[in-house]
Amino acid sequence: MDNEIYKDIIKLLKNSKNPASGSYFDVEKEVNIIVKNSHAIISFNIDPQNVKIFEDHKDIIQKKILEIKNLISAQVIMTSEKKNGEQAKKNVHENKYDIPVKNIIAIASGKGGVGKSTVAVNLAIALKNIGKSVVLLDADIYGPSIPRMMGISKKPITNENKKLIPLEAHGIKCMSIGFLISEETPAIWRGPMVMKALEQLFTSVEWGESEYMIVDLPPGTGDTQLTIAQKVQMKGAIIVSTPQDIALIDARKGINMFKKVNIPVLGIIENMSYFICDNCNERHEIFSYGGAKEESIKMQTDFLGEIPLDKKIRICSDQGKPLANSINEETITKIYEGIAKKIIKY
């Protein structure tokens, strides 16, 4: 339902005139829209000189939007920022976290259950296997998976600078909120606490200099994703999806979110793409097949590869031994290394 409301808002605004210019709204450049549980927040990016004009029309715009079917509430916000030339660029960089990593890549998904964390871990291993220095950050505060998947149960210690020393496994430095709280303890935190924890994971850790940081994001398009977009100098994002339509709908939302916040989408990975039966050795496409590749064409982004549904991946993940690091598993290793080689070309 949220997706339909989102589309209806875009349609309405594309047919509405900007009160300052008299031309129709350029939704891509002038408007940011968030719809969650039938509640909408619509933010208009306006010139500071036109604030008064927009304020006079704000109630009219909000009233029109509230007429959209199934929409419960709508909050209209006007944002204006006066920046010029080099000062604008300077301010952008001043607001970013200072992280000594050349390329920071987010692994994202529109929904949970598509194997995003498994992909993040094995992709980090693959980058390491092709000779890159890699660190791995678990940005999922509510559901951290990296400790189990990397086989780490210790707690990090601090150095003389009072920074956390990341824990290392399989040749990769890692940090996760899961290292600081027990596996059974839920993080019952409100948004501001989550954002503060996220900031500390980025800035209060002695990462050292590395070529790549893989960031395992939580599913969806919420506060964590927006904070990282604003505060982290990203190389880009990779979207993980399974092939079926219900997953691709949410993958599309993830792609559109990153485009809205000006983070390049490096490509889409189709996970659980097919299954090879142990008994008959035949290929079965349990969750359909090829949906992510078709979506990449529609969304004008690269298709990075397809990963099979393989019980060995699940077993190794549970054991804390990423399959991409196994010398006895050439097929999965080659798939992940193939994706890693594509990524380093960006």
User: Which stretch of 82-96, 157-171, 204-218 has the lowest confidence by average pLDDT?
Assistant: 82-96
- Give the domain CATH number at 57: 3.30.1340.30
Looking at the structure, tell me whether residues 153 and 47 fall in a common domain.
Answer: no
Q: Let me know if residue 89 belongs to a domain.
A: no
Going from the C-alpha of 252 to that of each of 76, 256, 267, the distances in angstroms are 24, 6, 12
Predicted confidence band at 87 (pLDDT cuts at 50, 70, 90)? very low
The pLDDT of residue 62 is 86
Tell me which residue range forms the domain holding 34: 2-82
Looking at the structure, tell me whether residues 112 and 59 fall in a common domain.
Answer: no
Looking at the structure, tell me whether residues 11 and 122 fall in a common domain.
Answer: no
- Total domains in the chain come to 2
Q: Let me know if residue 95 belongs to a domain.
A: no
What does the pLDDT average to over 327-342? 89
The pLDDT of residue 291 is 85
Q: What is the pLDDT of residues 24-55, one digit of tens each?
A: 888 887 888 888 778 888 888 888 788 788 87
The pLDDT of residue 84 is 46
What does the pLDDT average to over 322-334? 85
Looking at the structure, tell me whether residues 110 and 210 fall in a common domain.
Answer: yes
Q: Let me know if residue 232 belongs to a domain.
A: yes
Q: Let me know if residue 121 belongs to a domain.
A: yes
Predicted confidence band at 301 (pLDDT cuts at 50, 70, 90)? very high
Looking at the structure, tell me whether residues 73 and 126 fall in a common domain.
Answer: no
Contacts for 12 with CB less than 8 Å, ≥ 6 apart: 64, 65, 68
Q: What is the pLDDT of residues 198-215, one digit of tens each?
A: 888 999 999 999 999 999
Looking at the structure, tell me whether residues 174 and 78 fall in a common domain.
Answer: no
- Give the domain CATH number at 138: 3.40.50.300
The pLDDT of residue 81 is 53
Looking at the structure, tell me whether residues 278 and 323 fall in a common domain.
Answer: yes
Q: Let me know if residue 227 belongs to a domain.
A: yes
- Six-digit token string for 245: 């339509």
Looking at the structure, tell me whether residues 213 and 315 fall in a common domain.
Answer: yes
Q: Let me know if residue 245 belongs to a domain.
A: yes
Q: What is the pLDDT of residues 256-292, one digit of tens each?
A: 889 888 899 999 999 998 888 888 888 888 878 888 8
Answer with the residue of higher pLDDT: 89 or 225.
225
Of the candidates 25, 47, 82, which is a domain's last residue? Answer: 82
DSSP notation for 74-139: EEEEEEE----HHHHHHHHHHTS----EEEEEEEE-SSSSS-HHHHHHHHHHHHHHTT--EEEEE-
Contacts for 103 with CB less than 8 Å, ≥ 6 apart: 211, 212, 213, 235
Looking at the structure, tell me whether residues 204 and 269 fall in a common domain.
Answer: yes
Nearest to 287 by CA among 327, 326, 247, 252: 247
If you ran DSSP here, which 8-state letter would residue 218 be given? P
